[in-house]
Homo-oligomer: A and B are copies of this chain.
């Protein structure tokens, strides 16, 4: 499509006399052009000046729309070169429709009960980037040059053991620097041999559940909590019991009955609500575990990102009884695609956990572990976290301001001054319908009610991730979302 053809295509879809504001119409038309393939991946767009002249609109309108689309991941701005249609091809392979595949239609998928539950409840988005995808850090800020240098260093002469299966527990060099990092940054009390490298929180929880529970056992989860754990644990034959969360964190006094095999908790920054667990509640949790022989899994998922001053130590650091299994990952601090998490196992479990991970999953990726050990030891990790903390803090502020600019104080915002997302409460509104409409407008969010054990009984709201949106793109992207919210009466 030439610039003129594009202008014509857009003009045919814009109604100057009637309908939504011009910038919203233009946004929707360009989004459609990208998603429907009219503008293929890699195509250079006309400059904002040129397109504005062709369309007869203000140049700022075009700039705004380009920025919104860039924030949505549909366009890419290459400095000094221009604006291009992003490659969205990672989501393009799908089974043909029934007409194209009569065989697939004839055969029902015959899943097991647990299999059907996994697939029916699947929540993974087709896209993993753009405003306001929660839980995704700004991976474009990752220092890829440093990473490339480390790659060259370790691949120039790769010891054969490094390309083979991982030894029990992972690469010692990485376990050593991680132990040091967790001791100083999170107050975790650990030795390198207590660290077990995994591919992330899913594997960390799966391993813990396989080693510490049997089919039919009960485990407790915070309510609300990260949805991704439910199917994993259920398909191991476990019974899940939700424990309500209030402003101080998980509240054990509201549950009774037989004690669980373990309790999964997020003391530093409750997921997804964002509050910090109070000290009395932490003590109550440890006391309960000791009295009833339960383990505690402490998921310290994004504790590096606190923008205020209050220092929070880990629950593991308070534990005097070796009852806490501490889990974390580098998905939020570096990039999710790395798939690197870790467990700090209690003394009595460390050897079993290290052997268990090797036996059950046969992991590898030792070259990446070696690169990462250097990345941490040479100070790049700490520097990256410091830098991202500044960026994310400003983005959070920008999102708060955008919310205030659109809605004043009418929509309450929740979440401590920390993390990668905040929650916009929508009392009385249908957050699932709103999230669906937002996706159709090019904005990814997750409905808060979906994090509850019983979604119908949960609070209504949207999780807005601000970490993977450039500061200048936040206001325009939120304006698009505000348009959706208003349609639903916000």
Binding site for B on A (CB under 8 A): 73, 76, 86-96, 101, 103-104, 107-115, 118-119, 121-124, 126-129, 136, 139-140, 142, 144, 147-148, 151-152, 155-156, 158-169, 171-173, 175-176, 192-193, 199-203, 210-215, 217, 228, 231-232, 235-237, 261, 293, 322, 331, 335-339, 346-352, 355-356, 358-367, 468
Let me know if B104 and A169 touch, CB within 8 A.
no
The answer to whether B365 touches A93, judged by C-beta atoms less than 8 angstroms apart, is: no
> Which residues of chain B come closer than 8 Å to A112, judged between CB atoms?
210-214, 217, 261
Q: Report B-chain residues with C-beta under 8 Å of the C-beta of A367.
A: 337
CB distance from A10 to the nearest CB of B (A): 25
With beta carbons under 8 angstroms apart, the residue of B91, B202, B236, B335 that contacts A163 is B335
Cα distance, A129 to B160, chains bound together (Å): 7
Considering the chains assembled together, what is the distance between the CA atoms of A152 and B109 in angstroms?
42
| Given A103-B347, A118-B211, A210-B118: A360 touches B129 (CB 8 Å cut-off) | no
Name 5 interchain pairs, CB-CB below 8 A, sorted by A. A111-B352, A114-B215, A122-B168, A202-B361, A235-B236
| A158 B129 Cβ-Cβ under 8 A | no
- 9 A-B pairs with least C-beta separation: A337-B364, A115-B211, A107-B348, A139-B163, A128-B164, A104-B347, A163-B335, A93-B172, A124-B358
Whether B165 and A155, one on each chain, are in contact in the complex, defined by CB atoms closer than 8 angstroms, is no
Give chain B nearest CB distance to A14 CB in angstroms: 29
Q: How far is the CB of A106 from chain B (nearest CB, A)?
A: 8
Check if B169 sits within 8 Å of A93, measured CB to CB: yes
CA A110 – CA B352 in complex, angstroms? 10
Chain B residues with Cβ below 8 Å from A339 are 363-365
A362 contacts B228, C-beta separation under 8 Å: yes
Docked complex Cα distance between A442 and B342 (Å): 32
User: Which of B119, B362, B468 lies in contact with A355, CB distance below 8 A?
Assistant: B119
Query: Are B359 and A192 in contact, with the CB atoms below 8 A?
Result: no
The residue of chain B having its C-beta at the shortest distance from the C-beta of A103 within the complex is B347
Cβ–Cβ contact B359 & A93, under 8 A: no
Closest beta carbon of chain B to A226's beta carbon, Å? 10
Contact A351 B95 (CB under 8 A): yes
By the criterion CB–CB under 8 Å, are B129 and A359 in contact?
no
CB of A322 within 8 A of CB of B210, answer no
Among B95, B201, B338, B358, the residue within 8 A (CB) of A350 is: B95
Q: A95-B350, A359-B124 are in contact. Are A129 and B199 (CB under 8 A)?
A: no
Q: With a CB–CB cut-off of 8 A, which chain B residues contact A261?
A: 112
| A86, A139, A215, A235 pick with most chain B CB within 10 angstroms | A235
* With A122-B168, A142-B163, A337-B367 already in contact, 7 other A-B pairs whose C-beta atoms are closer than 8 Å: A95-B193, A95-B350, A103-B322, A119-B211, A128-B167, A231-B359, A337-B364
Closest to A113 in B: B214
B232 touching A360, Cβ below 8 Å: yes
Judge whether A147 and B155 touch: CB under 8 Å.
Answer: yes
CB of A115 within 8 A of CB of B362, answer no
CB of B214 within 8 A of CB of A172, answer: no
B161 touches A122 (CB 8 A): no
Q: Are B118 and A356 in contact (CB under 8 A)?
A: yes
